[in-house]
Amino acid sequence: MPGLDEVSDIKSDGLKTAARHPVPKGEPILEMRALQKKYGAVEALKPASITFLSGEIHAIVGENGAGKSTLIKLLTGVIRRTSGEVYWCGKPVQLDNPHEAIARGINAVHQEVVLCPHLSVAANMFLGDEMKSAGLMRKRAMTEAAQSVLDDLGFNLPAAATLGSLTIGQQQLVATARAAMRGTQFLIFDEPTAYLTRQESAQLFRLIRRLQGEGVTIVYISHRMEEVFELADRVSVLRDGTHVGTRRIGETNDAELITLMINRTIEQIYHKEHFPAGEVIVETRGLSGPGFEDVSLTVRAGEIVGLYGLIGAGRSEFALGLYGRHASTAGEVYWQGRKVKIANERTAMDLGIALAPESRRDQGLCLNLPIGLNINLPVFSRLTRGLTINRQKEIENADRQIRDLKIKTPSRRVLASAMSGGNQQKIVIGKWLSHGAKLFIFDEPTVGVDVGTKAEIYRLFARLLENGAGIILISSYLPEVYELSDRLHVFRRGRLVASHDYRAASHEEVLTQAIGV
C-alpha cells in the first residue's frame, strides 16, 4: 500500500499528541479559576471555575449569550480575560494570544469553516506547515499523505479536490482532520454539527472518539441534547454568563440540564398547537426549477407543512423558487386559488410570502449593518413619506420588533454581527413580522440556536398560525419537522418522494425515504 509510510510519517511529526501526554488520563489538564470577562460594564462571563480532565469529552451547554463563545475565545487566546487564572498542566498560563494557545496544543474547530475555499483539501490540511524539499512544496506527497489521513479516518473525501467544491459538512470534517494532525491536546468544537448531515455527524463523532482514545481532551459545545448524551463524559452548564453546574453524564438527564440552562422547566420544547386548517393559501402543481423537479404541494391557513430531506435534496431550492429568487422552468403556482407568476422576490412579498432563508450569514442578514436597518429593510418603502424616511416610524418599528421578540441588545444601532445565532435568527424573523405575510417559509430556523430560543420560535409559529397564516418549515433536523408539521413532505434529489400526516410515519420510515435505500 503506497502512502502508508507517509501516514506513519505524519503521525510521527503530525499527531504529536500521543507522544507528549503531559498529564495522565483523568487528571486536570486545564483549570479555570474564577475566570471572568467584562466588556465595559457588561459581564459576559462571571467568575467561573471549571476543571477539564485529561482525555475526557466535556460538553458545554447554555442558551444564547450564556457566555459559551466568550469562554472559547478566552481559552483560545482570542480575547484577554478581565480577571481570574487559567492553569495548564498545573501551571498558571496567560493565554493572551492565539499563538500561545496553539503552541500549548489548544485548538478550536468552529461552526463556520475558516479555511481557503480555492485551495485543495490537501493544501488546506497542510496550510502553514507544508512538506518541503529544497524549498519547494512536495505537492504530490502532500496530496497522498492527506488522502491516507482522510482514508484512515474513514472520510470518503478526495484530497486533491478544491475545498470549495465540498459541502459545508465535508469542509467541517476537513477542518477537524486538520486540527487532529497538528499536535492538538485540547480541542474545542463549537457546534460542529450545525451544518452536517446525519452521516457526516456520525463520521465526526467517530473522529472525536478516536481523538479521545489518543489522549486528546475534547470540549464539545452543542445545542443538541442527544449529542451531548451520546458523546460526553461530563457536561457543564452556563446561564447568563454564570457557570451553574457540572454533572457527570450518567448522573443527569435532559430535563435537569434544560432546567439548569433556562431556569424554568420546559415540559414541551416542541410546542405544538393544532388549529383547524383553513382555506388553501398556496398550491404548486408540478413546479420545477433549478435544483427541484415536479413538486406539487398545498399549504392551508393554520397549518405547518414540513419539508424534510438531506442537505442538497432540493428543499431550499424549492423555497427559493416559490419565492421568485430563481425562475421556475415548469409547473404552476396558485395563490389563494388564483394562478400567479412569481417572477421576482418583490412579487412574492407583495402577494404575502415571507422567506427566512437557510443561511443567516449569506442570505438572511446584512451583518455589518445595525439591527434596526436589518429589521426595516423590507418595509422602507412603507416608512417613506415623500422623499425621506419617517425617522420616528423607523425607530418605533425596529424597537417594537426588538421588544416583542426579546432580542437581547442594548440598542437597535448595534451591528447584527455582534449578536448570537439565536438573536440573529430573531432579527430575520422580526424583518418579516414587520412586513407581514400570509405564508411564512422558515428554512432551518433553529440552526445554531439554543433550546430556549428554539422554544420561543416554535411558540411564535403557533401565534402566526392562530392569526391565519400558513407555514412551510424546512429542516434537516428530523425531530423538529416531525413534531411540528401537520403534513410532512420528504425530499430526495430534488423531488418530493413521500408525504405523511402528523406523526403518521415513524422516524425510521421518514429517514429511509430521505436517504433512499
C-alpha span between 459 and 383 (Å, rounded): 28
Say whether residue 431 binds other proteins (CB under 8 A): yes
> Which residues of 12-138 form beta strands (DSSP E)?
28-39, 42-48, 51-53, 57-62, 83-88, 91-93, 106-109, 132-133, 136-137
Say whether residue 364 binds other proteins (CB under 8 A): yes
Say whether residue 439 binds other proteins (CB under 8 A): no
Q: Are 119 and 166 in contact (CB under 8 A)?
A: no
Q: Are 235 and 61 in contact (CB under 8 A)?
A: yes
| Residue 189 φ/ψ, nearest 5 degrees | -105, 125
Say whether residue 363 binds other proteins (CB under 8 A): yes
Number of residues that bind other proteins (CB under 8 A): 47
Say whether residue 418 binds other proteins (CB under 8 A): yes
CB of 149 to other proteins, least distance (A): 35
C-alpha span between 486 and 87 (Å, rounded): 52
Q: Which of residues 50-69 bind other proteins (CB under 8 A)?
A: 65
Among 408, 492, 493, 495, binds other proteins (CB under 8 A): 408
The DSSP secondary-structure symbol of 415 reads B
Among 251, 267, 362, 508, binds other proteins (CB under 8 A): 362
Say whether residue 377 binds other proteins (CB under 8 A): yes
| Residue 154 φ/ψ, nearest 5 degrees | 80, 15
Among 368, 392, 508, 517, binds other proteins (CB under 8 A): 368
- For other proteins, the closer CB: 250 or 386: 386
Among 12, 13, 19, 39, binds other proteins (CB under 8 A): 39
CB count in 10 Å sphere of residue 376: 24
- Beta-carbon contacts of 102 under 8 Å, excluding residues fewer than 6 positions away, are 182
C-alpha span between 437 and 427 (Å, rounded): 16
* Lookup: cell for 485: 408539521
- For other proteins, the closer CB: 265 or 344: 344
C-alpha span between 80 and 98 (Å, rounded): 10
* Lookup: cell for 134: 529544497
Say whether residue 165 binds other proteins (CB under 8 A): no
- For other proteins, the closer CB: 88 or 323: 323
C-alpha span between 458 and 272 (Å, rounded): 8
Among 101, 365, 439, 474, binds other proteins (CB under 8 A): 365
Q: Which of residues 203-242 bind other proteins (CB under 8 A)?
A: 240
CA torsion through residues 349, 352, 355, 356, sign: positive
Say whether residue 340 binds other proteins (CB under 8 A): no
- Beta-carbon contacts of 398 under 8 Å, excluding residues fewer than 6 positions away, are 371, 372, 375, 376, 412
The region of 91-99, 163-171, 199-207, 359-367 touching other proteins under the rule CB under 8 A is 359-367
Say whether residue 422 binds other proteins (CB under 8 A): no
- For other proteins, the closer CB: 183 or 324: 324
C-alpha span between 192 and 110 (Å, rounded): 7
- Residue 76, helix vs strand vs coil: coil
Say whether residue 448 binds other proteins (CB under 8 A): no
**Which among 405, 382, 420 has a CA at the least distance from the CA of 459?**
405
The DSSP secondary-structure symbol of 352 reads T
Among 80, 413, 463, 507, binds other proteins (CB under 8 A): 413
Among 340, 389, 497, 511, binds other proteins (CB under 8 A): 389
Say whether residue 392 binds other proteins (CB under 8 A): no
Chain centre distance of CA 127: 25
Say whether residue 41 binds other proteins (CB under 8 A): yes
- Residue 24 has, within 13 A of its CA and on its CB side, a CA count of 0
- For other proteins, the closer CB: 8 or 388: 388
CB of 403 to other proteins, least distance (A): 6
Say whether residue 112 binds other proteins (CB under 8 A): no
Looking at the DSSP bridge assignments, the partners of residue 349 are none
For the chain, how many residues are written? 517
- For other proteins, the closer CB: 277 or 377: 377
Say whether residue 40 binds other proteins (CB under 8 A): yes
Say whether residue 78 binds other proteins (CB under 8 A): no
Per-residue mark of binding to other proteins, 472-501 (x: CB under 8 A): ------------------------------
CB of 495 to other proteins, least distance (A): 24
Among 8, 133, 388, 392, binds other proteins (CB under 8 A): 388
Helices and strands (H and E) in the chain: how many: 19, 25
The region of 197-205, 267-275, 357-365, 448-456 touching other proteins under the rule CB under 8 A is 357-365
- For other proteins, the closer CB: 210 or 326: 326
Q: Which parts of this chain interact with other proteins (CB under 8 A)?
A: 39-42, 65, 240, 323, 325, 345-346, 349, 355, 357, 362-370, 373, 376-378, 380-381, 383-384, 387-389, 399, 402-403, 406, 408-411, 413-415, 418, 431, 435
